[in-house]
Amino acid sequence: MKERLTRLKTIRKLIKNYRIESQEALLGYLSREGYAVTQATLSRDLKLLKVGKVSDGHNGYVYTLPGDEERQESEMTIVQDFLRGYISIDFSGNLVVIKTYSGHSDVVAAAIDSMNLDEVLGSISGRDNCVFVCLREGVTGDSFLDTLKMKIPELDE
């Protein structure tokens, strides 16, 4: 059962990150991720995830997850909340300190949590102007910052 759950999570990630037009293409991506699945299994997974196909605006169709448009709007709001509230980011070991404008620590911590970054174990909002983020074992502050910049290209760190 665990493999199925991780495979479903991988399928979601692949559909979000790549322009996938067919099950064959998706099977190829899954193979590169280390999953050997049949087309029938993939069909059942896609049905379970409620994956659909939408026009790419040109001549084809691509896979999409339900609620992608709402999710994109929500992600933009999260990014804007983070950018409005943070002042600086510094780190030591697996602890990241994000200084915020007064009264913005809760919003910035919620933004970090909402991004669902694999590198993050959790965050704690300070009373007013500081957020502490605990990174997973082996994750460096630099790699966390690189991941954050991928989510928020406008980040000035």
Spans of all domains in the chain: 2-64, 69-151
Joined together, the tokens standing for residue 7 give 């495979």
% the chain with pLDDT above 70 = 94
Structure tokens at 135: 């990174």
Average pLDDT over residues 71-94: 86
Residue 29 reports pLDDT greater than 70: yes
Q: Which of 48-57, 68-77, 123-132 has the highest mean pLDDT?
A: 123-132
- Fold classification of 69-151 is Gyrase A; domain 2 (3.30.1360)
pLDDT tens digits, residue range 106-136? 999 999 998 888 899 999 998 889 999 999 9
Rounded CA-CA distance 155/157 in Å is 6
Q: Where are the beta strands (DSSP E) in 1-157?
A: 52-55, 61-64, 86-92, 95-100, 120-125, 130-135
Predicted pLDDT of residue 126: 86
Q: Report pLDDT for 55.
A: 79
Model confidence at 60, pLDDT cuts 50, 70, 90, reads confident
- Fold classified for 2-64: Arc Repressor Mutant, subunit A (1.10.10)
Tally: H helices and E strands in the chain: 6, 6
Q: Does 69-151 match 2-64 at the fold level?
A: no
User: pTM of the full predicted structure?
Assistant: 0.57
Distance CA 127, CA 141 (A): 23
Give me the residue label for tokens 């983020």: 133
Which among 84, 12, 18 has a CA at the least distance from the CA of 48? 12
Q: How confident is the model at residue 17 (pLDDT cuts 50, 70, 90)?
A: confident
- Residue 85: pLDDT band by 50, 70, 90 thresholds? very high
What gap in Å lies between CA 59 and CA 85, rounded to an integer? 42
